C-alpha cells in the first residue's frame, strides 16, 4: 500500500505529476480550504499533509494523525501550524524558503509605488469615465525617488525589497531581531536602527517580519503615530503583526498619507472601515502569486515530500523545529 499524501487546496499540475508515482495522492483541486473536521479526517488517513496558510493545524488536528510524518506548508510563513506540538510528536514541518522572496518583493514595490501615486483610485476614476479634463491638482501623490525606505524585518523578503531601493536612490533603514553582517549591510546600503527611529525617519515603512509571539501586534497605534504625516505604510507579511483597527484609525484621521495591505489580522475578513478608505490599497494576499514562483514553491515542496517518503530528513525544516 502506498503512503497517503493529501493536498488541501489547489496545487500546480506539474508538481502533482512529479509526486504521484511516490504515493497515493489525494487532492482537493478547489480553492476552498477544508473545514476543521475535514482536516481531522485528512490527518487521520495521511502520512503527509500538504497545507496552506488558511489551514489551521493545531494540536487537535495533529492528534488525529497517527501515521503523520510530515506537514509540508505551501509558503514561507508557517504560523498556521503548531510546530512545537508537531515536533514533539516526531512530525516534520517544512516550508518553501528561498524561492518566493523576489516575487514578494516585486509586489511590495508595486504596492509602494501604487500607494504613493494613487494608482488604484486614479485607475478607478478613469475607468468610471469621470476623467473629463486635466487638472493640476488631480491625484497628487508622494515622490519615491530619493526618499527614505524603512524595512521592518530584513530576512529574505525584506532584503530583496531593500536591494531594489538603490534604483530609486533611496536611503534604506532597517530593523531586525539580529543585526546583519557588515558586508550584507553594505551590499544593501542599509543602516541598522531601532524600530522607533525607523518609524520616525522613513517616508515608506514596509513590514516583513514573520508572525511570532515577539512580533504579534508590534505595530499598534503608538508606532503608527510615530510615522511622518506624509509617510506610507506597506504590509505584506502576516496580519497579526499589525493592529488593523489602529491602522484604520490613523488613516481616517489623516495621521499618515496612505497604506497598502496584502495581509489582514483576521484574514480573509477585513477590519471595519477599511473599504471606505481611499488612501488604503487592499489586496487579497498575493505576495507570491506569480506563475513561476508558485511552480518553484510546489517543486521544492514536492522534493521535501519525496525525501520524507524515502526515509530522509527533509531539507526545508522550518526554523525552530525541535528546538
Ligand atoms: C503563500 C505566503 O501564498 O509564503 C508565504 O508565507 O504568505 C504566500 O507566499 C501562502 O503561504 C500560501 O499558503
Residues 6+ apart with CB under 8 A from 262: 107, 111, 235, 236, 283, 284, 285, 286, 287
Q: Which of 235, 238, 294, 296 is catalytic?
A: 238
pLDDT, residue 323, reads: 86
Task: Using the mean position of ligand 1's atoms as its centre, give its distance from the Cα of residue 55 in Å.
Answer: 12
pLDDT, residue 31, reads: 80
Pocket test of ligand 1: the residue of 11, 211, 285 to mutate, having most ligand atoms within 8 Å of its CB, is 285
Distance CA 259, CA 283 (A): 11
Task: Using the mean position of ligand 1's atoms as its centre, give its distance from the Cα of residue 84 in Å.
Answer: 20
**CATH numbers and ranges of domains, the chain:** 4-99+291-309 (3.40.50.720), 101-282 (3.40.50.720)
The verdict on whether 238 is a catalytic residue reads yes
The verdict on whether 89 is a catalytic residue reads no
Q: Which of 164, 208, 285, 294 is catalytic?
A: 285
pLDDT, residue 85, reads: 98
Residues framing ligand 1 (Cβ under 6 A): 52-53, 74-77, 100, 287-288
Residue nearest to atom 11 of ligand 1 (CA): 75
Distance CA 320, CA 140 (A): 46
pLDDT, residue 3, reads: 98
Atom of ligand 1 lying closest to residue 286 CA: 3
Query: pLDDT in tens for each of the 323 residues of the chain?
Result: 999 999 999 999 999 999 999 999 999 878 888 999 999 999 999 999 999 999 999 999 999 999 999 999 999 999 999 999 999 999 999 999 999 999 999 999 999 999 999 999 999 999 999 999 999 999 999 999 999 999 999 999 999 999 999 999 999 999 999 999 999 999 999 999 999 999 999 999 999 999 999 999 999 999 999 999 999 999 999 999 999 999 999 999 999 999 999 999 999 999 999 999 999 999 999 999 999 999 999 999 999 999 999 999 999 999 999 98
pLDDT, residue 177, reads: 95
Cell of residue 133, nine digits: 479634463
Task: Using the mean position of ligand 1's atoms as its centre, give its distance from the Cα of residue 58 in Å.
Answer: 18
pLDDT, residue 105, reads: 98
Task: Using the mean position of ligand 1's atoms as its centre, give its distance from the Cα of residue 34 in Å.
Answer: 17
Q: Three-state SS across 275-321?
A: HHCCCEEECCCCCCCCHHHHHHHHHHHHHHHHHHHCCCCCCCECCCC
The verdict on whether 101 is a catalytic residue reads no
Amino acid at each position: 500500500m502506498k503512503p497517503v499524501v493529501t493536498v488541501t487546496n489547489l496545487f500546480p499540475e506539474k508538481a502533482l505529476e512529479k509526486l504521484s508515482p511516490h504515493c497515493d495522492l489525494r487532492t482537493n483541486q478547489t480553492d476552498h480550504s477544508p473545514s476543521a473536521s475535514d482536516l481531522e479526517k485528512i490527518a487521520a488517513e495521511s502520512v503527509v499533509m500538504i497545507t496552506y496558510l488558511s489551514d489551521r493545524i493545531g494540536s487537535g488536528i495533529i492528534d488525529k494523525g497517527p501515521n503523520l510524518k510530515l506537514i509540508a506548508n505551501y509558503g514561507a510563513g508557517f504560523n498556521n501550524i503548531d510546530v512545537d506540538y508537531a515536533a514533539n510528536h516526531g512530525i516534520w514541518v517544512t516550508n518553501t524558503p528561498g524561492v518566493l522572496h523576489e516575487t514578494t518583493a516585486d509586489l511590495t514595490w508595486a504596492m509602494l509605488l501604487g500607494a504613493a501615486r494613487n494608482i488604484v483610485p486614479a485607475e478607478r476614476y478613469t475607468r468610471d469615465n469621470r476623467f473629463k479634463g486635466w487638472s493640476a491638482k488631480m491625484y497628487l501623490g508622494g515622490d519615491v525617488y530619493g526618499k527614505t525606505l524603512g524595512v521592518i524585518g530584513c530576512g529574505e523578503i525584506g532584503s530583496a525589497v531593500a536591494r531594489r531601493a538603490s534604483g530609486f536612490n533611496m536611503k534604506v533603514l532597517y530593523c531586525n531581531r539580529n543585526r546583519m553582517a557588515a558586508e550584507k549591510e553594505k551590499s544593501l546600503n542599509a543602516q541598522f536602527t531601532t524600530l522607533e527611529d525607523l518609524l520616525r525617519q522613513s517616508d515608506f515603512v514596509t513590514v516583513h517580519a514573520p508572525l511570532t509571539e515577539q512580533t504579534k501586534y508590534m505595530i499598534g497605534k503608538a508606532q503608527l503615530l510615530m510615522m511622518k504625516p506624509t509617510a506610507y505604510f506597506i504590509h505584506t507579511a502576516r496580519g497579526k503583526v499589525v493592529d488593523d483597527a489602529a491602522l484604520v484609525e490613523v488613516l481616517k484621521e489623516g495621521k499618515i498619507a496612505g497604506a497598502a495591505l496584502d495581509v489582514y489580522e483576521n484574514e480573509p475578513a477585513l477590519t471595519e472601515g477599511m473599504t471606505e478608505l481611499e488612501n488604503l490599497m487592499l489586496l487579497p494576499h498575493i505576495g507570491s502569486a506569480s506563475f513561476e514562483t508558485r511552480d518553484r514553491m510546489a517543486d521544492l515542496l514536492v522534493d521535501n515530500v519525496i525525501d520524507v517518503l524515502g526515509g530522509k530528513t527533509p531539507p526545508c525544516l522550518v526554523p525552530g523545529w525541535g528546538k
